Amino acid sequence: MACISFAFKALCFCLFFIVVASRSTVRPKVFNVQRHGAKPDGKTDNANAFTSIWSRACKRISGSSKIYVPKGTFYLGGVEFVGPCKNPIEFIIDGTLLAPANPSDIKQDTWINFRYINNLSISGSGTLDGQGKQSWPHNDCHTNPNCPKLAMTMGFAFVNNSNIKDITSLNSKMGHFNFFSVHHFNITGVTITAPGDSPNTDGIKMGSCSNIQISDTNIGTGDDCIAILSGTTNLNISNVNCGPGHGISVGSLGKSKDEKDVKDLIVRDVIFNGTSDGIRIKTWESSASKILVSNFVYENIQMIDVGKPINIDQKYCPHPPCEHERKGESHVQIQNLKLKNIYGTSKNKVAVNLQCSKIFPCKNVELIDINIKQNGVKDGSSTSVCENVDGFARGKMFPRIV
């Protein structure tokens, strides 16, 4: 009797193990968009087919889903992929997603938008072609603060524990990738390309985000390679090539009353090539909010013919006059800033510009081993501007910080 009882228990255990094992090895369901109605002819709008496939993949309960875009050109109007989803989703793009050339044909702020999703993975050898060339002449944001908003290429809002890898974004109408309230997200091996004179084509733009990693990525645009806005914390950038473009910019900050602190930024092993700026922090000259910018590390940075290699600008005012409730000086406090082993060439004579606020001077600024020479000058002589800064410089220092 004891033997029968033992055998029964062993059988139950084996059945339980088989069930658990079978669940853990369930293969993802593959949704090939072409087999589900999408046409790779470059002219048929596949928005309805893509959203229908997403709906089925997102609702699937029995395992993860994989949406596959094969080689070919899939014309796509504005689409939104909305969660929450039952299980992780992998979006593999090996073909080209082609945006409408006419900017008015996209009736939303972002051409391809992901919202309220956890465990999303986007990868592949494919291209997001924003067809921005026709839109750029309509963009007068450099002179008009009320300029019409064009669609960004791909956006993520309230997306967590996710990643994007190896995708190419080409010729966005406005920015390429936009992140809002995104947490624990990795960006790896991405290529972002637009001409240097294409207006407002930021590479990666983020606000109210945390725990983001950007690595092994090439960015060349007509605006910031990476723009870091209000409320962003714990951002790690490494092995990024930037150029053309406006560098890696924090800000602009201080314009609105409800802005949040920007903290804990690490930028390492980055090359700026032919950009207008390299390391850049910009806060409004007459700021409406008092926030903190703190705990930044920039290390092992190469500058190649950069307009303003190191540029802290707390007198930012793109469209004068800049007047808010608090007038005159920036109320953004910059502190705990470390710049180490920054080297290369400057396009202009002023290689290091540190213009901090009189009311809230920059605190605890460390400059270690800075070696930036002016390009095209025989002795490479360059200069620095240093206003309202509390900190120290050590190691090799060229130009001298005065």
Q: Which of 138, 142, 176, 246 is catalytic?
A: 246
Determine the longest span between alpha carbons in the chain, in angstroms.
98
246: annotated active-site residue: yes
DSSP string, 239-280: EEEE-SSS-EEEEEESSSTT---EEEEEEEEEEEES-SEEEE
Strand 248-253, strand 226-228: pairing:
parallel
* Closest residue by Cα to residue 128 from 94, 175, 168, 166: 168
Say how far apart CA 218 and CA 181 lie, in whole Å. 24
- Which residues, at least 6 apart from 125, have a Cβ–Cβ distance to it below 8 Å? 94, 166
- Collapsing DSSP to helix, strand or coil, 50 comes out as helix
Helix, strand, coil percentages, rounded to 5, for the chain = 10, 50, 40
Determine the residue type at 190.
V
Say how far apart CA 334 and CA 256 lie, in whole Å. 17
H-type alpha helices, 25-90: 47-59
Say how far apart CA 242 and CA 239 lie, in whole Å. 10
Residue tagged 């930044």 (tokens): 296
- The torsion angle over the Cα atoms of residues 43, 44, 45 and 50, rounded to 10 degrees, is -120
In this structure, what DSSP letter does residue 26 have?
P
The residues that are catalytic are 246
